Amino acid sequence: MRPRASFRLAAPLAATVASAACDGFIRPPDPLELDPDVVAVAIMLVAGEREARLLATHPHRQANEPPPTLAATLEGPGWTAAFSDTLELRKCIDASNWPGPARCLRAALPEEIRGGEGYEIEGTAPLGSFGGEAVLPAAPVLIEPGDSLHLPMSAEYGDHLIPMRYRIGDDIGTLLADVLDAFRMEEDGTETELESHHLGYFGNPLEGTEADTVRIHYHLRPLRFSLRLLGIGWNYTNFLENEGIFPLPKPWPSFGIDGEGVYGYFDGVVPSRATRVWVR
């Protein structure tokens, strides 16, 4: 082929290539077409409370659509309670970017939730029935600190490190530190109540099997607060461990909930005794 003829062939090729290049190089994201009637359920019983809360969400719908409608009952030792009351959503969740329309339901219980006890749930959702069971773990045993702990105010800015020793059973999947009743003592002698997140982030599980250290943020003023452990069962732990960006293939670990078009977890949290802490 003579050079000129060769270039005649090359020109349309170059034009084709150039036009194709403008269309973008990679496949754009697709919206995930998932069943809009799927309901996500989150139930975390709290030992010591006489109510149970159930968070139901349509995770595949827009937030401005109606929340899910479902009927569910909780069964304890010798009693059954229906989730019949609707609460404010923040009673179930305080996440700001919760996907989809959600509803917070409450069941009044005839007795307190107890650690080591088994509970069952049954219900119906738009796509069918669901059920599940959870055995709450035994309460974690806080060994150290004792009933009270006094920490000196540090001259330097830095976290207060509180060593904790404890004993937990195999039924605890997640062990958290929890701060409550936190107050800052002001110069005028008054006390200002603090949210726990002002004292630190307690969402990361304690990793030591028998001991770990809790970090409390430094404040310029003296503090007092209660510190305890929270033991959560394996249903929630299994569920949380699988957050991510890739789908979790079946068979799934136990989440405590099983049913048609209903996904989520059913578990409970059991606190240890609390220790009073003073920083001054």
Partner 1 sequence: MTGAALLIAALQQATLSGVVRDSVDLEPVAYARVTVAAVAGEAAAASGVSDRYGAFVVPGAAGNGAVRVEVAAVGYAPWTRSYEAPPAEPIRVLLRPAPIGIDGIEVNVAGRAGDPISRSRDAFVIDSLLLRTLPAILETDVLRATAVSPSASAPSDYTSVPFIRGGTSEGTPVLLDGVRLFNAFHLGGFLSAINAEVVERATILAGSGGDGMGIGSLSGAIEIATRDGSRDEIRMAGSLGLASSRLSVEGPIGSSVSYLLDGRRTYIDGLTLALENMGAVSDHLPYFFQDLHAKVTADLGGVRRLSVSGYRNSESLQVHDSAETNTLGLSWGNSALSVHYRDRLGDNGIVDANLGHSRFTSDLFALGGGSAVHRNGERVEYTPPTDTLLFGDGIMSETRADLRVTWRTGRATITGGAQATGFLGDHEYDHTDEFQSDEGFFFSPVTLRESSWRLAAYSSVEVPLQRGFSTRAGVRIDHFRRLATTLAPFAELSYAGSWWDARVSASRSHQALASVRDEEALGASFLAYDLLIPVSRPPVPRNTEFTVGWEGSRAGVRVRVDAYARTLDNLRLPALEARPASGAALGDPSLWEVASGSAKGVETSWSWMSDRGFSVLGSYRWARVSRTVGSRTYKPRFHRNHEFELGTSYAHGASSWSARASLRSGQPTTPVLAIVPVQFHGTPRSELVPLGGEYNSGTLPRYARIDVGWRRESRVSWFGGGSIVPYASVANLFSLPNVVGWFVERSLTGETRRVYVPQLPMIPFFGVEFRF
Please pick, from the candidates 81, 134, 176, 182, the single residue that binds partner 1 as defined by CB under 8 A. 176
CB of 225 to partner 1, least distance (A): 14
Does 97 bind partner 1 (CB under 8 A)? Our answer is yes
CB of 52 to partner 1, least distance (A): 15
Nearest C-alpha neighbor of 183 from the set 226, 151, 229: 226
Q: Residue 148: in which H helix or E strand, if any?
A: strand 148-151
| Nearest-angstrom CA–CA distance, 245 and 238 | 16
| Nearest-angstrom CA–CA distance, 41 and 255 | 11
Residue 80: C-alpha distances to residues 56, 73, 113, 168 (Å): 20, 7, 13, 30
The pairing of strands 258-259 and 160-167 is unpaired
Does 31 bind partner 1 (CB under 8 A)? Our answer is yes
Q: State which residue, 6 or 190, has the beta carbon closest to partner 1.
A: 6
Does 15 bind partner 1 (CB under 8 A)? Our answer is no
Please pick, from the candidates 82, 87, 240, 274, the single residue that binds partner 1 as defined by CB under 8 A. 240
Site for partner 1, residues 37 to 76, rule: CB under 8 A: 38, 40, 42, 44, 57, 59-60, 62-63
| Nearest-angstrom CA–CA distance, 57 and 27 | 31
Please pick, from the candidates 45, 136, 164, 230, the single residue that binds partner 1 as defined by CB under 8 A. 230
Residue 175: C-alpha distances to residues 9, 32, 183, 237 (Å): 70, 34, 24, 10
Site for partner 1, residues 248 to 277, rule: CB under 8 A: 248-250, 252-253, 263-265, 269
CB of 4 to partner 1, least distance (A): 11
80 with 73: CB under 8 angstroms? yes
Q: Near partner 1 by CB under 8 A, which window of 74-82, 142-150, 211-219, 240-248?
A: 240-248
Which residues on neighbouring strands pair with residue 39, listed in sequence order? 262
What does the CA dihedral 73, 75, 76, 81 come to, rounded to 10 degrees? 30
CB of 100 to partner 1, least distance (A): 8
Please pick, from the candidates 78, 152, 190, 246, the single residue that binds partner 1 as defined by CB under 8 A. 246
The pairing of strands 71-76 and 258-259 is unpaired
Does 218 bind partner 1 (CB under 8 A)? Our answer is no
Q: Near partner 1 by CB under 8 A, which window of 90-98, 141-149, 217-225, 272-280?
A: 90-98
Q: State which residue, 81 or 125, has the beta carbon closest to partner 1.
A: 125
| Nearest-angstrom CA–CA distance, 131 and 264 | 11
Does 27 bind partner 1 (CB under 8 A)? Our answer is yes
Please report where in the chains the tokens 């050079």 appear, as a residue: 3
The residues that touch partner 1, with contacts defined as CB under 8 A, are: 1-3, 6, 9-10, 13, 16-17, 20-21, 23-32, 34-35, 38, 40, 42, 44, 57, 59-60, 62-63, 93-100, 174, 176, 178, 196-197, 201-203, 230, 232, 236, 239-250, 252-253, 263-265, 269
